[in-house]
Amino acid sequence: MTITLPAFTPLEESLFLTLCCRVLDNRSAQPILADAMADEIVRTLDYDYEALHISTDLMLNATLRAKKLDEVTSRFLARHPNAVGLDLGAGLDTRVVRLDPPSTVDWYDVDLPAVASARERLIPDRPNAHVVGADVREPDWLDAIPSGRPAMIVADGLMGFLSQDEFVSLLNRIISHFPGGEMVFNSYTPFTIWVAHHAPGTKTVADLVKFPGFKDPHEPESWNPKLELIEEILLSRDLAKVPSKLRLYYRLQAHSRSWSRKGTIVLHFRF
Ligand SMILES: C[S@@+](CC[C@H](N)C(=O)[O-])C[C@H]1O[C@@H](n2cnc3c(N)ncnc32)[C@H](O)[C@@H]1O
């Protein structure tokens, strides 16, 4: 059965770029995420993913970073089975299905109201998985999230669409809401922000990118004294499933931290 969604704004529509990267990964010879539900969603919507002209490099970056975010999150949930998990700007990502957290974890997928409604139509309900339709820049939505438990915060592809002030105040609100936890998000340097503005693969979102980027992975520690960098994860160092024609490039990149930072970076913090 095909489902037709109400028209999204260009900002909401950005979810299809990452979703379709996961679809292409699922159809590749050696999938990194093997997200069959992403594929099913795109088929149900009869979405024309070919119109996005997704390159192999973009697909790899989006799926490798999602895998890293999954791994960090999964380790945290294993250590804190009473945790609250938040996926900020979740789009139609099926992370909660991939992670399959125990029913003692409460998981919240947060996105703008139109996207939240679409999630509810397309992604089957799970016990203790909740969808929140809200603009993360607004303060009120956090009131509905339990506050006395360790929290794992994931933001995959959100940061670029917020200004630095918006992102910093979002992190500060989250940090003061919970007793402690971890957060993991893909980050941008000024160079990768420049690339997002100019690369053909991200043409559909170029005008929506507001974040300026920062070079030093420790910079967020200056935004809130509770934030402490656990790890800067460079995707060029995870080559197991990279197709051989791109592996040499990634392998060369992996030798240099500053060159690796010209690609996708995942930052992992505790607070
Ligand atoms: C590139 S998509 C990534 C979606 C998802 N995380 C994924 O990996 O497929 C960015 C998402 O951020 C959401 N978003 C952007 N600004 C937002 C805001 N202010 N509040 C809530 N969601 C927002 C968009 O609606 C979109 O779903």
DSSP string, 180-199: -EEEEEEE--HHHHHHHHH-
**Spatial distance between the Cα atoms of 117 and 247, rounded to a whole number of angstroms:** 40
pLDDT of residue 238: 64
pLDDT of residue 182: 98
Structure tokens at 254: 């992996």
Q: Look up residue 93 and give its amino acid.
A: D
Helix (H, G, I), strand (E, B) or coil at 168: helix
DSSP string, 70-117: HHHHHHHHHH-TT-EEEEET-TT--HHHHH---TTSEEEEEE-HHHHH
Low-confidence spans in the chain with pLDDT less than 50? none
Nearest to 190 by CA among 214, 210, 209: 214
pTM for this prediction: 0.94
Does 132 sit in the ligand 1 pocket, CB within 6 Å? no
Pairing, β 129-133 against β 181-187: unpaired
CB 79 within 8 A of CB 181: no
Does 18 sit in the ligand 1 pocket, CB within 6 Å? yes
Does 93 sit in the ligand 1 pocket, CB within 6 Å? yes
Nearest to 236 by CA among 217, 223, 211, 253: 253
Q: Given CA atoms 78, 84, 89, 92 in this order, what sign does their dihedral have?
A: positive
**Spatial distance between the Cα atoms of 255 and 133, rounded to a whole number of angstroms:** 42
Helix (H, G, I), strand (E, B) or coil at 217: coil
Question: Percentage of the chain with pLDDT > 70?
Answer: 90
Q: Given CA atoms 244, 246, 250, 253 in this order, what sign does their dihedral have?
A: positive
Residue 161 alpha carbon to ligand 1 centre in Å: 8
Residue 170 alpha carbon to ligand 1 centre in Å: 14
pLDDT of residue 269: 98
Residue 124 alpha carbon to ligand 1 centre in Å: 20
- pLDDT one-digit tens code per residue, 68-87: 999 999 999 999 999 999 99
Helix (H, G, I), strand (E, B) or coil at 37: helix
